[in-house]
Amino acid sequence: MKSRRIKNMKIELLSKKAYTLNNITFDYKLRKGKWVRQSRECYDRGDGAAILLYNKSKETIILVRQFRMPTLLNGNDDGFLVEVCAGLLDNQDPIACITRETEEETGYRVSHVKKVYEAYSSPGVMTEKMHFFIGEYTSDMKVNEGGGLEAEHEDIEVLELSFKEAVSMLHKGEIKDSRTIVLLQYAIIHELL
């Protein structure tokens, strides 16, 4: 760590179940020079990757629908979200991760992906950095039904939508996953379809 505005950092482990939750106490130097004691909870679940699959000739994209408990707890009536394919790096490089996740979740084996962004997911509480990709798919790339790994109890519905339908869903507020919003906006700005 290189910050000259942080000192006396103490890390207290709060939970280490699926991922790690720490409480970090530290001295922070304000812009005006005064040092103050602060405390923050920090959740470490590892970094992730997400991809928007698109087909130029059909003008379609692949999204997935799956249950997300935190959204159910925060006002999403059924807990299901429409999202881009995504997953945790699990000690893989981002390209290897998103290639693996794409096949597991959607059933498409992609051979080429393009990284378009890298950003922190929720920097106030999480260490996660998300790697954003786009990739073209064609019907002949379909190698299985997708749906996720049975061993991980994944229950993922694969959706092939027209790009116009997905953009309409975005504008109506039916897509609420920030990764998906970022990648759909990228597709709009760069006129992918």
Span 105-153, pLDDT tens digits: 999 999 999 999 999 999 999 999 999 999 999 999 999 999 999 888 9
- CATH number of 149's domain: 3.90.79.10
Give the structural domain span for 12: 6-44
Are residues 17 and 86 both part of a single domain? Answer: no
81 has a pLDDT exceeding 70: yes
| Residue 169: CB atoms within 10 Å | 17
Are residues 87 and 17 both part of a single domain? Answer: no
Total domains, the chain: 2
Percent of the chain at pLDDT > 90 equals 95
In a domain, 1, yes or no: no
In a domain, 103, yes or no: yes
Rounded distance, CA 191 to CA 193, Å?
5
Rounded distance, CA 131 to CA 84, Å?
12
Are residues 146 and 163 both part of a single domain? Answer: yes
Percent of the chain at pLDDT > 70 equals 99
